[in-house]
Structure 1
């Protein structure tokens, strides 16, 4: 997939602010600091359309990016970051539930997980939450370049087992550094977007 244009449309906190256009969307979810912004930037071949931060918990809004005037990437707030107040976490929870349960344009979610670690309880909850709403999930196992080739299969198997991944969902090993997995990620996304 060649990305010719990619722009941020809006940072929204409620459905009143969501873009009205009936174009399909792929949501991007993951723990704070798991590499969501790096994933977005690698997919669209831009250095910093999505701002990367060394401070976890930066994304506190639903960020809608329009890609090639055909579909949206929707970057949702990272979860599992302890330094965020309980009140703030509840607010995020409501915002995410509203989006995932009510957004008709949403076609699938890319759940981003660090391949080096066993999925956390938060990752499991997020996967179950998405399946509860009947959403297709692509699990993107990032930071692939940070582990030895011999460890890959073991780590990928661990992710599948811990999340109890359903057969229709795809697990994609990915590296924002080398671009490995990018073509598979695009193919999978485009099949959900029906483009």
Structure 2
């Protein structure tokens, strides 16, 4: 088995924030994870970092209600010493039960984070590979693109469908988002499939 080029050496929770003065002090690059409630974001973060329960997995959608910062240490094959970054976990969007008012507040502080964080490298937007992107997915994607924020689409729950369906569904995701060349990375948290690919992308962004 090939050795991973990028190895995560540690992951720890650092802070939860709803306003800039609560963001962590350290000047580390930030890689953001966002997606609809129940898209499997916490499972993916735990699979990626291999730290159990780093992000709490909840069967109740809409549990993450703050911006959560995790400090993650990495060792990159071609780089001396270790690197670190903040993995930033954002509240799920598109879940109506949290009530309109509350959702407005969240989107306000999420928007503020996106538009003011100087250290943001790119956003992993998670979309369930089994279904077409929903209106809220498309809206989120278009907003990120409009604000020149680099996006990688991570198609979660890839183990739930066969290889042929996977290609078809990835094509459907690109079509629905309206950008043929947007990168889409299939990921299975259950099987850690796609993990080394995603780590490579993270590694590249830290080395640049």
Which TM-score bucket, shorter chain as reference?
Answer: over 0.9
Task: Give the drift of 1:165.
Answer: 2.8
After superposition, the C-alpha distances for 1:112-140 in whole angstroms (9 at most, x for unaligned) are: 01000000000001101111221111100
Scaled by the length of structure 1, the TM-score of the pair is: 0.96
After superposition, the C-alpha distances for 1:135-180 in whole angstroms (9 at most, x for unaligned) are: 111100010000122211110000011012363x421011001111
> Structure 1 runs of 4+ off > 3 angstroms?
none
Deviating more after overlay: 62-71 vs 138-147: 62-71
Task: Give the drift of 1:47.
Answer: 2.0
Q: Which residue of 1 aligns with 2:76?
A: none
- For structure 2, which runs of at least 5 residues remain unmatched after alignment? 1-5, 74-82
Q: Which residue of 2 aligns with 1:30?
A: 35
Whether 2:112 is the aligned partner of 1:98: answer yes
After superposition, the C-alpha distances for 1:15-49 in whole angstroms (9 at most, x for unaligned) are: 11001221100010000010000110000112211
Could you tell me whether the CA contact under 8 Å between 1:28 and 1:112 is conserved in 2?
yes
Distance in 2 (alpha carbons) for counterparts of 1:165 and 1:78: 23
Q: Which residue of 2 aligns with 1:117?
A: 131
Whether 2:122 is the aligned partner of 1:108: answer yes
Distance in 2 (alpha carbons) for counterparts of 1:166 and 1:5: 36
Q: Which residue of 2 aligns with 1:187?
A: 200
The one of 143, 147, 169 equivalent to 2:157 is 143
Total equivalences in the alignment: 194
- For structure 1, which runs of at least 5 residues remain unmatched after alignment? none
Superposed CA RMSD in Å reads 1.2
SS of corresponding position for 1:5: strand
Q: Which has the larger radius of gyration?
A: 2
Scaled by the length of structure 2, the TM-score of the pair is: 0.90
